[in-house]
Amino acid sequence: MTGARDAIVIGAGVNGLAAAAYLAMAGKRVLVLEARDSEGGLSDVDEFADGVRATRAAHALYALDPSVVRELKLARHGLKFAVRDMPLVGLRNDGKHLVLVRDPYTTARHIVAHSDSDANAWAEFRREWFALARIMRHLWWSANSRNGDDAVARAERVSRMGAGAWLDSWFESDALKATLGFDAHALSPLAAGSALILVWRAAQEMCGLQGAVAFPRGGLRALVDAVAAAACKAGVETRTEAPVADIQVDSEGAVAGVALASGEMIAAPLVLSSLSRRQTLSQPSVRRALGLGEAAQLDRRRSGAQMARVALALDAPPTISGSQVPLTGRFVVAERLDSLTAAHAAAMAGRLPQELTMEVVLPVAADPALAPQGRHLVSVLVGPVPAEIEGGWKAAKSLLAAKVVAQLSRHLPGLSRHLVGIEVLTPDEARHGFGADDAFGGAVDAARLLADWRERVRTPMPGLILCGAAADPVGAVSGRGGRMAACFAFERDARP
Amino acid sequence: MRYDAAIIGAGAEGLAAATLLGQAGLRVIVIERGARAGGRCLTREFHPGYRASPYVDDVAEIPAELYWQLDLARHGAVFVPERCSHALWPERCHALNFFASGNGGQARLLAEAAERRRSIAARAVGNGEKRSRLSRAGRAPWPAADWATTALADAVAVESDDEAAHLAALSLAGRAADPYLAGSALHLLGARASAGRLAGGLGRLGDALHAAADAAGVQFAFGLEASDIQRRDGRLSGVGLADGSEIAAQSIISTLDLKRTFLSFFAWNALPRTVVRRVNAFRMAGTTARVLFALSSTPEFAVPQAQDGPIHVAPSLGVLNAAYQDWRLGVVAEHLPVVLNVVSAHDASLAPPDGAVVTATLGAVPFRPFDGAWTHEKRELLRRRARDAAESVSPGFAERIVASEVIAPPDIEDALGATDADLAGGEIAGDQMLGMGPWDEPALPRTPIAGLYLAGSHLTAGAFATCAAGASAARALLADRAKGHRT
């Protein structure tokens, strides 16, 4: 055993670093272990074509926790926003794109082109949606309130609804329903609980704007750097290229430390894992200590549908055909709610959907410094796609890329002519490379959306806490998982 | 004459409500557009000498308390519980014996479903006295609320694949749902929900309920169709009839489904906007078709005791899923979930000596086919699907057929007045049952229209208890009257 620590954090993603920073600020000796050669996890960048660098998975900030920004003083450590409130744009095959912005009246004017009655219903829907989101916030993230009963009772109907049914009850136009419904992509629009994912989106508050999606200056790498700087200042020690082979368990069944792949053992009474719940609990010693039954249960769950990430490097600025849209928006490609439903059904059956549904962001439009002169980046989240595909993802990877390019060419004319590089992250790479079953908010369990926050971070093993995306109701780059895990660790300490 | 209560529809729920109100001394009238009472509790001759209950073989359990309060035993409705269920594939079989002890995971699951079903029904009936859903009592979690966010496939993953498929088929008999979708586990409430078999067929229950209502002094108006609910000075005044006359009544219980009640009895601009929106958004969809077979002799199965209970033909989660996907698109799937019932095996009165009656219940049959109406060809397709399914597990079945009758979804809508032929009164989903009405306040069975109560089969008790919705509405009405007299 080498140099005992108070706590070990597995994984140096945004959540892991945030958890470490909180613990270190409270005076703990914390060590962060990262398997890869740099910090950042799924928010890290890779250069894939000719000077163009893209983050691995996350391509915008949906859910950064304002408390984390404030408490870790991220602004002082260099976090700035290039776009604070990205408009949501539905790209339509007929070229009549739908632009949803913050101002309900402007939005209603845009919706009129698709449906009168939807335009009328918009303001009321948004009011109810955002109010519901404020109620649910307490349940999801209030570390000091255990009592979410009232909130649950009021949100009960929507919490048991599918996103499809909920949107159907308000709107008639495919354009609006599909554009909004895409955000529930972690579950099928038919699945009970998927409406709650939309509420979760609206419950976010970045830059003081409820329900905003933001883009940081310098891309997501800038966020990682800011959190890493905060952690470093607090005294966190980080070791890269230190993959963990096992979590060690003492004779009483509590966590004792970790064993690295190199054979080194590091003792600590507290281990915070950024891996998914499934991957954390299937560490060999944990599995053994908790008994086989538990492990069998872990394996029974179907992994189902997830997201894939495709980054396209271009040598000319992308243009969007059809009606005028703001290039700093996030673009949803989903023709109808049924496209999402069908994609989910296909993904569950292990097939690539016929019609892909995706979200597109143009990072260079938001922050020109992100690519060298004359180079551009189109960042695409594709999903739902199968977690395990027939014939394996190795073979399907290029097919997916080709499909994305073909389908996007309809909206981005000349895309294939200007293509200079392409990078794909498949669900199975996210899983094996980053321990992220929950990458991009995939594989959401409807029950998790209503669970008490303690249930999300807790594991059956004393001293082992989840601090990754699994600690949030829907996985995202938020830092919240880290914060909640740290809160839980302090609470545990405080107890006699 | 002004009645204390008018009840629209003489189905099981309406008759139960009428009986309870009559027993409490109210002047009650039941308005029924057909010529007889009982609704789906009906047994009729479909071929000379062969009788069957056309729409359903059995109804969900009647809560014991109500069974005795309605005095159904004295009026001739005595149930014999089902003993078993079989899943048959051409080459193998899986049996669930409901009375064998020590059956492991599936027995526990079925017992849990039964217990949850009973407590839901009890709470729904008791809810008649509670006005508010957001009150402390109204907020207590409902049993089975966790199933509202669980996938059926996860819930039934007990021991073997065959067993899981059998349980899923048992839960989904005659319905359609994707077993892999969160929320579908609620269908488990329907597993083995049957009240049991009734000597003389289900019609006997309709007769018993009718007799009970008669004994309680309830009046009946047959052959009259309600067309609107009339209000005067903001208060209910009575039921308008299709022939232009009116039956004056202080309170009204509608046993029609939610959509039909609100969209056909009121002018849409007479209702609050939220109510119209929520009622419009309520999801109903037919899933069931039936084929009644008259056979020249008893069919043979690889397992002879299979005919003691329902027979699920070659169930699998994949088939249920694929059938559901097709159903959503309005297509009759290649493989429909089929349940066979040799009804004459328990009740010799249904078939001539030597003959047999088998009913086939088909699930995932769309109410609106994507390519238009239910034509003769499509009905023949259903007949063929049912016959082929039966032949696959009972060789020689097809040769024994003397006659058969197809009951397609539109027939069910016509006969029972169920919107879109939805026998359950609405999609089985967590946001449409377990205390969730289309409005937040007042709590069901009350409606935003004071004096109007709902007793459709779905809303309060789910589709999983008979007479509970009627009893719930009757109790709510009585509680409100008592309160009105006090103040």
Distance set, CA A218 to CA A302, A312, A484, B221 (Å): 37, 18, 27, 77
Residue A158 near chain B (CB below 8 Å): yes
Residue A187 has pLDDT above 50, yes or no: yes
The nearest CA of chain A is from the CA of B344 a distance in Å of 40
Q: What is the pLDDT of residues A227-247, one digit of tens each?
A: 999 999 999 999 999 999 999
Residue A292 has pLDDT above 70, yes or no: no
For the record, the structure tokens of A73 come out as: 């003083």
| Strand ranges in B408-466 using DSSP code E only, listed in sequence order | 452-454
Mean pLDDT of A147-152: 55
Best-predicted range by mean pLDDT (A32-46, A64-78, A297-311, B258-272)? A64-78
Which residues in chain B are contacts of A177 at CB distance < 8 A? none
CA angle A208, A213, A219 (to 5 degrees): 105
> What angle in degrees, to the nearest 10, is found between the helix axes of B317-329 and B161-172?
40
d(CA A150, CA B139): 8
Which residues in chain A are contacts of B436 at CB distance < 8 A? 156-157, 160
B37-51, B155-169, B406-420: lowest mean pLDDT where?
A: B155-169
The nearest CA of chain B is from the CA of A381 a distance in Å of 23
The nearest CA of chain A is from the CA of B281 a distance in Å of 5
| Percent of chain B's residues with pLDDT above 90 | 48
The nearest CA of chain B is from the CA of A449 a distance in Å of 10
The nearest CA of chain B is from the CA of A183 a distance in Å of 17
d(CA B341, CA B44): 16
Residue B134 near chain A (CB below 8 Å): yes
Best-predicted range by mean pLDDT (A45-59, B183-197, B333-347)? B333-347
- Cis bond before residue B442 (omega within 30° of 0): yes
How big is the A-B interface in CB pairs under 8 Å? 75
Segment (H or E) for A121: helix A116-141
Which residues in chain A are contacts of B325 at CB distance < 8 A? 345
Best-predicted range by mean pLDDT (A135-144, A156-165, B428-437)? A156-165
Query: pTM here?
Result: 0.89
Q: Is the CB of B180 less than 8 angstroms away from the CB of A348?
A: yes
Band (B301; pLDDT cuts 50, 70, 90): very high
- Cis bond before residue A462 (omega within 30° of 0): no
Q: Rounded mean pLDDT of chain A?
A: 86
For the record, the structure tokens of B178 come out as: 């994707």
Q: Which of A159, A348, A447 sits opposite B150 (nearest CB)?
A: A447
Q: Could you say which residues from 134 to 153 on chain A have a Cβ atom under 8 Å away from some Cβ of chain B?
A: 149, 153
Dihedral pair phi/psi, residue A490, rounded to 5°: -65, -40
Q: From B7, B161, B53, B146, select the one nearest B415 (Cα to Cα).
A: B53
Predicted local distance difference test score (pLDDT) of residue B425: 84
Residue at B366: amino acid letter: P
Residue B280 near chain A (CB below 8 Å): yes
Distance of CA B326 to the CA centre of its chain: 23
DSSP annotation of A57: S
Q: Which of B148, B154, B281 sits opposite A169 (nearest CB)?
A: B281
For the record, the structure tokens of A31 come out as: 């060590």
Closest residue of chain B to A451, computed from CA coordinates:
B146
For the record, the structure tokens of A269 come out as: 């009474």
| Percent of chain B's residues with pLDDT above 70 | 94
Q: From B31, B121, B443, B455, select the one nearest B257 (Cα to Cα).
A: B455
Residue A441 has pLDDT above 70, yes or no: no
A36-45, A394-403, B38-47: lowest mean pLDDT where?
A: A36-45
Which residues in chain B are contacts of A184 at CB distance < 8 A? none
Predicted local distance difference test score (pLDDT) of residue B487: 43
**Best to test chain B binding among A132, A135, A190, A300 (most B CBs inside 10 Å):** A190
Distance set, CA B449 to CA B134, B184, B251 (Å): 19, 32, 10
Mean pLDDT of A83-109: 94
Alpha helices in A269-330 (DSSP H): 277-281, 284-290, 292-300
Beta-carbon neighbour count of residue B482 at 10 Å? 11
Q: What is the pLDDT of residues B363-407, one digit of tens each?
A: 999 999 999 899 999 999 999 999 999 999 999 999 999 999 999
For the record, the structure tokens of B427 come out as: 């999609």
Q: Is the CB of A446 less than 8 angstroms away from the CB of B182?
A: yes
Residue A428 has pLDDT above 50, yes or no: yes
> What angle in degrees, to the nearest 10, is found between the helix axes of B12-23 and B203-215?
20
Q: Is the CB of A161 less than 8 angstroms away from the CB of B157?
A: no
> What is this model's ipTM?
0.86
A13-27, A82-96, B172-186, B433-447: lowest mean pLDDT where?
A: B433-447
Residue A451 near chain B (CB below 8 Å): no
d(CA B473, CA B453): 6
Band (A299; pLDDT cuts 50, 70, 90): very low
Residue B132 near chain A (CB below 8 Å): no
Predicted local distance difference test score (pLDDT) of residue A302: 52
Q: From B319, B325, B359, select the one nearest B337 (Cα to Cα).
A: B319
The nearest CA of chain B is from the CA of A286 a distance in Å of 24
Mean pLDDT of B452-481: 84
Q: From A321, A338, A381, select the one nearest A174 (Cα to Cα).
A: A338
Q: What is the pLDDT of residues B319-349, one digit of tens each?
A: 999 999 999 999 999 999 999 999 998 888 8
Residue B181 near chain A (CB below 8 Å): yes
Q: Quick check: helix, strand or coil at residue B399? A: helix
Cβ atoms A450, A426 nearer than 8 A: no
Predicted local distance difference test score (pLDDT) of residue A496: 37
Q: Rounded mean pLDDT of chain B?
A: 88
Closest residue of chain A to B324, computed from CA coordinates:
A345
Mean pLDDT of B250-254: 94
Q: Is the CB of B429 less than 8 angstroms away from the CB of A160?
A: yes
End-to-end CA distance of chain B: 25
Question: Per-residue DSSP letters for B300-369?
Answer: --SSGGGGGS-EEES--HHHHHHHHHHHHHT---SS--EEEEEGGGT-GGGS-TT-EEEEEEE-S--SS-
| Tokens 């190795």 sit on residue | A394
